[in-house]
């Protein structure tokens, strides 16, 4: 870490919208927020005994903006920060803006022992700045999630996508269907691919089985995570997969699978022909809605194979009754029906870009993962879009040519940083449909907590800057230098950051 004051905020991530150097510098130990090591029980606090003046006023902040026309959601997060020898002054329209100003102070104090006197005016570019964690394939637990939320807050990220259910494990307590956690939260094999090879027999393990691998979040765990996230202005969005990726659901409640003419059961998908499927989903979602106050519910919708629907008498009967011409329209029927249910309870749905197949209601938000093109198509059809393209933002892809290679594709930090979704042909008139960006950590190949963190960092730093900073402030050589400095601090706090040889 530097022991000298920096002439510009070379170590701030994300880069602020406007920055002006003042005269002199301030020792980090004199700032009102003293950095400390991360702890899962840590509460946010500000040392008000130090000279820190906070003004919350839209009128005052508008004057600082000098005619810049920000949307209401940007104004809530915007702040003006003045750091001088006599103390700190923060102006913001909302508590959220004050919080982000304090995160800026914390980062400056964490990286340098002395910080330039300066003024900063800052606001976000996109409203959705997210990270997704796949907890189904490998379960990490509450303290791990809190630890990542702490880093997200420092980076001014505000959406945590909680991938709670998928084929190898159901990870959230549902009282109406206790076998989801008593059976399919546990399995004999710890490593996903070992389980995948042996799962043809439907191998899960009852809770309490000696040496069974797994776990799940109780409703109290979820409440604790949400309280921690709420303090940091992070919205937690749960995902309940449908209709595919439901091997675990089918194992716990086999009656929800398609009934095939040969007497078999489809191990992958729920059956949209059976009314009991919708009864199950609605009861599950009601408990999820009670647990998670987020206005969004992610309903998956990806990689539904649909072949068995063509053979299932219940699905065929549903298609005839609803006048559906294809299995794609049958999936659309299911998604639209669940969207109506969500609306009835004040929620909006997000789905992977396959939910576009067969037609989609305009109110649904599309998470574009196949590539940029899927997002462009969705924007063109009037949908809100979150960009998480696989070749840029799938964080299970490896970061070097050989070591720690979990998946065949190569995704170095520079490529993650290079994405600008609005530079791909989206008109100014349609730009409001681009809600933002998200990095996704799938964990088929990532079993341990240290490995998960190594795949997240420093690449999440790059996603954070794309989501928050104005495009003219992005500069790869400068970011690379700042990311190196923040990586050193993160390691000091106990995070595993790539490359691990620097630990």
Q: Which residues are catalytic?
A: 166, 245, 303
Cα–Cα distance for residue pair 251/253, rounded to 1 Å = 6
Cα–Cα distance for residue pair 267/172, rounded to 1 Å = 21
| Contact call for residues 399 and 447 (beta carbons, < 8 A) | no
- At a CB cut-off of 8 Å and minimum separation 6, what does 77 contact? 94, 96, 97, 100, 123, 124, 156
| Contact call for residues 457 and 495 (beta carbons, < 8 A) | yes
- At a CB cut-off of 8 Å and minimum separation 6, what does 110 contact? 28, 35, 489
Structure tokens at 412: 């170095």
Of residues 285, 276, 278, 330, the one with CA closest to residue 304: 330
Burial (CB count <10 Å: 0-12, 13-18, 19+), residue 185 = buried
SS3 101: helix
Report residue 331 CA to chain centroid gap.
Answer: 25
Count helices and strands in the chain by DSSP H and E runs: 17, 17
Backbone conformation region of residue 202, classed left if phi is above 0, alpha if psi is from -120 to 50, else beta: left
């Amino acid at each position: 870490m530097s022991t000298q004051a920096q002439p510009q905020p070379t170590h701030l991530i994300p880069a602020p919208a406007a920055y002006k150097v003042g005269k002199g510098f301030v020792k980090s130990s004199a700032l009102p927020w003293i950095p400390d090591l991360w702890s899962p029980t840590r509460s946010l606090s500000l040392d008000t005994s130090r000279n820190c003046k906070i003004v919350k006023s839209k009128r005052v902040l508008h004057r600082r903006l000098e005619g810049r026309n920000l949307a209401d959601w940007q104004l809530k997060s915007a702040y003006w920060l003045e750091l001088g020898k006599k103390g700190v002054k923060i102006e913001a329209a909302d508590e959220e803006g004050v919080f982000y100003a304090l995160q800026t102070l914390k980062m400056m104090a964490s990286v340098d022992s002395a910080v330039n006197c300066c003024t900063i005016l800052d606001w976000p570019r996109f409203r959705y700045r997210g990270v997704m964690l796949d907890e189904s394939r490998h379960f990490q637990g509450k303290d791990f999630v809190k630890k990542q939320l702490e880093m997200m807050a420092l980076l001014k990220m505000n959406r945590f996508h909680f991938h709670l259910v998928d084929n190898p494990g159901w990870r959230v307590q549902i009282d109406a269907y206790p076998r989801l956690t008593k059976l399919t939260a546990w399995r004999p094999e710890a490593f996903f691919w070992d389980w995948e090879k042996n799962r043809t027999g439907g191998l899960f393990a009852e809770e309490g089985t000696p040496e069974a691998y797994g776990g799940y979040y109780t409703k109290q765990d979820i409440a604790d995570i949400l309280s921690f996230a709420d303090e940091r202005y992070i919205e937690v969005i749960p995902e309940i997969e449908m209709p595919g990726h439901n091997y675990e659901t089918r194992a716990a409640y086999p009656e929800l699978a398609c009934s095939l003419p040969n007497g078999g059961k489809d191990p992958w998908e729920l059956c949209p022909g059976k009314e009991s499927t919708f009864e199950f989903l609605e009861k599950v979602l009601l408990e999820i809605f009670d647990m998670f106050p987020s206005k969004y519910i992610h309903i998956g919708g990806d990689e539904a194979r649909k072949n068995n629907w063509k053979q299932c008498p219940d699905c065929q009967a549903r298609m005839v009754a609803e006048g559906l011409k294809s299995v794609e329209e049958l999936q659309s029927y299911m998604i639209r029906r669940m969207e109506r249910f969500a609306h009835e309870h004040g929620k909006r749905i997000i789905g992977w870009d396959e939910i576009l197949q067969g037609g989609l209601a305009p109110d649904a938000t599309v998470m574009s993962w196949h590539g940029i093109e899927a997002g462009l198509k969705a924007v063109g059809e009037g949908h809100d879009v979150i960009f998480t393209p696989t070749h840029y933002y799938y964080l299970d892809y490896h970061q070097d040519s050989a070591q720690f290679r979990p998946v065949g594709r190569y995704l170095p930090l520079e490529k993650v940083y290079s994405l600008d979704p609005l530079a791909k042909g989206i008109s100014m008139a349609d730009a409001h449909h681009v809600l933002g960006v998200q990095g996704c950590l799938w964990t088929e190949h990532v079993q341990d907590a240290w490995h998960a963190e190594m795949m997240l960092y420093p690449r999440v730093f790059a996603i954070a800057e794309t989501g928050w900073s104005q495009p003219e402030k992005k500069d790869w050589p400068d970011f690379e230098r700042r990311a190196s400095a923040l990586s050193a601090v993160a390691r000091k706090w106990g995070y595993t950051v790539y490359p691990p040889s620097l630990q």
